Amino acid sequence: MKALFLVICLTAFSHLGFAQQTYAPAAPLPARNLAMFGRGLYPGNDTTYRLLKHSGFNTLLLSSFYIHADGDLYSGDSHQPIIHNGKWVGDSSYVRRVIDLKKKSSISRIEILLEGRWYGQPPNTFDFISDWYDPAKTVPGIVTGIGEQSTLYNICKVLKEVLGADAFCIDDESVYDSASIIAMGKIAAKLNMHMTLCPYKGYTYWGDILKSSDVNVVDALYLQCYDGGVKNEIKDWVGALKPKQPIYPIFMVRGSFSTCDTYKGSKSVAEIKTQLKGFKSDYPEMSGAAIWQMEDLKNFVRMGCAVKEPTSGSAKSVAEFLSQLKKALKSEL
């Protein structure tokens, strides 16, 4: 009788919305992970998403997104909120395109790149994560902590529920508060999501996160090998962090910063292939690599770099550029 009463109560609670929601497991990392960072994809267009679906790349990191002081999440492409007052208010066509990405597609995993401030920019994303993760703190208009009613939890929940995101990626280049990012990993675990890291410097900071995180939740690192990380050697990061997770180098293509020339470590397809070959020699376990970023592939084509600066590459369409990059990465992995 007591058991029957318990079942009735649980059923009633479920109908009233009190039952804890369970979430489908996030997509694991592909055995050989070819990843593309995707600035310029909000809201995007059907042609670009179709190219990505048939590109041979496995993981798409949608970028870049910023948390603001009021708890809203903004798209860096449009400088408009996509989450406002705890609810999705972003473009509906974007949702449709993202949800469709995995259908009859090479894309099997979708990550959300959370980006923070650079030098001289006002506080955002990781400043606020650091301020809000502690439930003992009081912040006007914000539910602090990482519980299911918290502002931070809700942002991640909406990304999971609306976009079907498998992971969020941490691109912290200014705040470096490991305790708050470790707490974000706990949110990911509650939502059956993963969390990945995107360092360009700071062995100690990233190492502290790895040591205190579940390897099944924090499951990869994307290492910036351009701009501030242009001198990064993957062997140094492997030696310093000794991670159980794979490290994937990120390469920046020509066309970045609106130039066909080499700038801040941008490389041609041939140059990427050469550097990747060296990384593979130093780190034989390397099982993937990433490209920064889709908008720069478009810039390369728009600027006519293949004609204007032949040493930058030969691609005359985005589809051709994607194909060249895929072949170059796969050949060295």
Q: Please determine, for residue 119, whether its predicted confidence score (pLDDT) is greater than 80.
A: no
Q: Please determine, for residue 151, whether its predicted confidence score (pLDDT) is greater than 60.
A: yes
Residue 134: inside a domain, yes or no? yes
- C-alpha 326/C-alpha 289 separation (Å) is 10
Residue 79: inside a domain, yes or no? yes
- C-alpha 77/C-alpha 80 separation (Å) is 8
Instruction: Report DSSP state, residue 30.
Output: P
Residue 100: inside a domain, yes or no? yes
**280-317 tens-digit pLDDT:** 999 999 999 999 999 999 999 999 999 999 999 999 99
Domain that holds residue 256: 31-332
Residue 17: inside a domain, yes or no? no
Residue 10: inside a domain, yes or no? no
The average pLDDT across 223-245 equals: 98
pLDDT at 326: 98
Instruction: Give the total number of structural domains in the chain.
Output: 1
**2-54 tens-digit pLDDT:** 444 444 343 433 333 334 577 888 999 999 999 999 999 999 999 999 999 99
The average pLDDT across 125-148 equals: 98
Number of other CB atoms surrounding residue 209 within 10 Å: 25
**155-185 tens-digit pLDDT:** 999 999 999 999 999 999 999 999 999 999 9
The average pLDDT across 129-142 equals: 98
- C-alpha 214/C-alpha 243 separation (Å) is 12
Give this prediction's pTM.
Answer: 0.93
pLDDT at 301: 98
Residue 13: inside a domain, yes or no? no
pLDDT at 20: 54
Q: Please determine, for residue 327, whether its predicted confidence score (pLDDT) is greater than 60.
A: yes
Residue 216's CATH number: 3.20.20.80
Residue 225: inside a domain, yes or no? yes
Residue 202: inside a domain, yes or no? yes
H/E segment holding residue 195: strand 194-197
